[in-house]
């Protein structure tokens, strides 16, 4: 199976290291580096694909074709864009904080990269199945807020700063219902490990088919859309209000990092959603779709849903956004946890 390929290769490398009696640190160091390179390469290819997909989806929703010129149906458009953006001049505003301006896109991208390390693409196709998996995802994705706020602050531009402030407020407040919605799943499975969560769904049923799971999934989708700053929650970079928000003063590769991170974050949000609520790599025990393909289909399904949102909805206003998050989403998420608690206890009593 293809998805075992990487794991087998890693095992083979470790065995080889042992046979050649190389120092343990060197073997694992090179192994990790290789893993990072593979993951990074995958992320970049994925990005190219997602950007192309978004443009095509947007095009067809908007009664046009989207990119058509570079390659058949414009498939190489994003490659051309990537080359173009790599060669662009890096402009830093004169009064910007140079260091912070430099590192903030890196922080945002790094957060993304770290979250990628534990996404369970298949039963063994996962860089590391941490015991505290989901906690780790939230820990590293909170990083991104710092990067965005720094970007807004360091650009020394009022629009950027407003965007950064909005991003901080929004991402911090929507993180709470986001975590609470996933907590329901954790209550059922009793494990934070992503592998265990998928395993539980394989043994029982997908969480989206249970009542608390379904409510949790809806909350998760809304909160995740806000977390990755996409329409209708794209306030931090709302181009019609804040020009470009926190990335107004960014160009070239630095801008590209923000841009890539945005798409990767969307993929991560979709992947976590697929893992927690849609059974991850499980697909009704259809053997030929078992594994990575099933996972990717589900994830891309959610990604397409998010894209559909983006090209249909207008944007919320900042105060309504906060109200919606704190006054509606959060209480519902708490009520959902209570409900899940009752159901679990009821099940125990009945049995």
Partner 1 sequence: MSVKTETMYLNMGPQHPSTHGVLRIGLEIDGEVVIKGTPDIGYLHRGMEKIAESSTYIKYVVMLDRTDYPCALTNEMAYILPVEKLLGCEVPARAQFIRTITMELNRIASHLLFFGTFGVDMGAITPINYAFRERELILDLLDDLSGQRLLYHYFRIGGVYRDLPQGWTERAMKFVKWMRDRLVEYDRLLSTNAIFIDRLRGVGIVSREDALAWGFTGPNMRASGVKFDLRKDEPYCAYQGLDFEVPTGKHGDCLDRYTMRMEEMYESTRIIEQAIAKLPEGEIRTKVPMRVKLPKGEWYGRVAGARGEHGCYIVSDGGASPYRLKIRAPSFSNLQILEKMLVGCKIADVVAIIGSVDISLGDVDR
**Binding of partner 1 by 204 (CB under 8 A):** no
**Binding of partner 1 by 95 (CB under 8 A):** no
Separation of alpha carbons 254 and 98, rounded Å: 12
**Binding of partner 1 by 21 (CB under 8 A):** no
Stretch that binds partner 1, among 62-70, 121-129, 207-215, 342-350 (CB under 8 A): 62-70
- CA-to-CA dists, residue 200 to 34, 146, 187, angstroms: 31, 34, 12
Tell which residue, 250, 251, 236, has the closest CA to residue 156. Answer: 250
**Binding of partner 1 by 64 (CB under 8 A):** yes
**Binding of partner 1 by 238 (CB under 8 A):** yes
- How many residues are given for the chain? 351
- When the beta carbons of 203 and 319 are compared against partner 1, the nearer one is 319
- When the beta carbons of 58 and 343 are compared against partner 1, the nearer one is 58
How many chain residues touch partner 1 (CB under 8 A)?
A: 29
Q: To the nearest whole angstrom, how small is the minimum distance from the Cβ of residue 319 to partner 1?
A: 7
- When the beta carbons of 58 and 110 are compared against partner 1, the nearer one is 58
**Binding of partner 1 by 231 (CB under 8 A):** yes
**Binding of partner 1 by 243 (CB under 8 A):** yes
Q: Are 74 and 52 in contact (CB under 8 A)?
A: yes
End-to-end CA distance of the chain: give it in Å, rounded. Answer: 40
Rule CB under 8 A: choose which of 14, 34, 53, 61 binds partner 1.
Answer: 61
**Binding of partner 1 by 348 (CB under 8 A):** no
Q: To the nearest whole angstrom, how small is the minimum distance from the Cβ of residue 157 to partner 1?
A: 10
Q: How many CB atoms lie within 10 A of CB 208?
A: 17
Q: To the nearest whole angstrom, how small is the minimum distance from the Cβ of residue 329 to partner 1?
A: 15
CA angle 37, 39, 42 (to 5 degrees): 105
Q: Are 201 and 282 in contact (CB under 8 A)?
A: yes
Stretch that binds partner 1, among 132-140, 174-182, 264-272, 305-313 (CB under 8 A): 305-313
Separation of alpha carbons 70 and 149, rounded Å: 36
Tell which residue, 177, 173, 171, has the closest CA to residue 219. Answer: 177
Separation of alpha carbons 169 and 325, rounded Å: 11
**Helix 292-310, helix 24-61: angle, nearest 10:** 40
Give, as one character, the DSSP assignment of residue 325: I
- When the beta carbons of 121 and 174 are compared against partner 1, the nearer one is 174
Stretch that binds partner 1, among 10-18, 176-184, 221-229, 309-317 (CB under 8 A): 309-317
Stretch that binds partner 1, among 22-30, 140-148, 236-244, 298-306 (CB under 8 A): 236-244
Site residues (CB under 8 A) for partner 1? Answer: 58, 61-64, 158-159, 162, 166, 231-232, 234-235, 238-243, 311-320
């Amino acid at each position: 199976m293809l998805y075992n390929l990487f794991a087998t290769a890693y095992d083979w490398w470790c065995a080889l290291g042992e046979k050649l009696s190389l120092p343990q640190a060197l073997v694992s160091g090179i192994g990790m580096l290789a893993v990072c390179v593979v993951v990074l390469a995958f992320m970049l290819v994925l990005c190219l694909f997602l950007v192309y997909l978004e443009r095509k989806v947007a095009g067809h929703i908007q009664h046009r074709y989207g990119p058509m010129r570079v390659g058949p149906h414009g498939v190489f458009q994003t490659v051309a864009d990537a080359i173009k953006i790599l060669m662009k001049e890096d402009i830093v505003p004169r009064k910007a904080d140079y260091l912070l301006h430099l590192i903030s896109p890196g922080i945002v991208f790094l957060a993304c990269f770290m979250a990628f390390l534990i996404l369970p693409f298949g039963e063994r196709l996962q860089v590391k199945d941490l015991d505290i998996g989901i906690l780790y995802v939230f820990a590293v994705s909170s990083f991104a807020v710092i990067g965005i706020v720094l970007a807004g602050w360091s650009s020394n531009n009022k629009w950027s700063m407003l965007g950064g402030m909005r991003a901080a407020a929004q991402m911090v407040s929507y993180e709470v219902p986001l975590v609470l919605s996933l907590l329901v799943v954790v209550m059922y499975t009793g494990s934070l490990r992503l592998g265990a969560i998928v395993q539980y769904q394989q043994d029982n049923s997908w969480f989206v088919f249970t009542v608390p799971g379904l409510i949790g999934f809806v909350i998760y989708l809304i909160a995740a859309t806000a977390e990755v700053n996409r329409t209708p929650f794209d306030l931090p970079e709302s181009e019609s209000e804040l020009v470009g928000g926190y990335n107004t003063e960014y160009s070239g590769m630095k801008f590209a990092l923000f841009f890539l991170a945005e798409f990767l974050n969307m993929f991560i949000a979709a992947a976590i959603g697929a893992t927690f609520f849609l059974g991850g790599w499980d697909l009704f025990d259809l053997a030929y779709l078992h594994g990575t393909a099933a996972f990717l289909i589900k994830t891309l399904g959610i990604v397409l849903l998010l894209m559909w949102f983006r090209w249909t909805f207008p944007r919320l206003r900042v105060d309504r956004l906060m109200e919606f998050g704190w006054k509606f989403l959060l209480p519902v998420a708490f009520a959902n946890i209570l409900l899940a608690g009752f159901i679990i206890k009821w099940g125990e009593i009945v049995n």
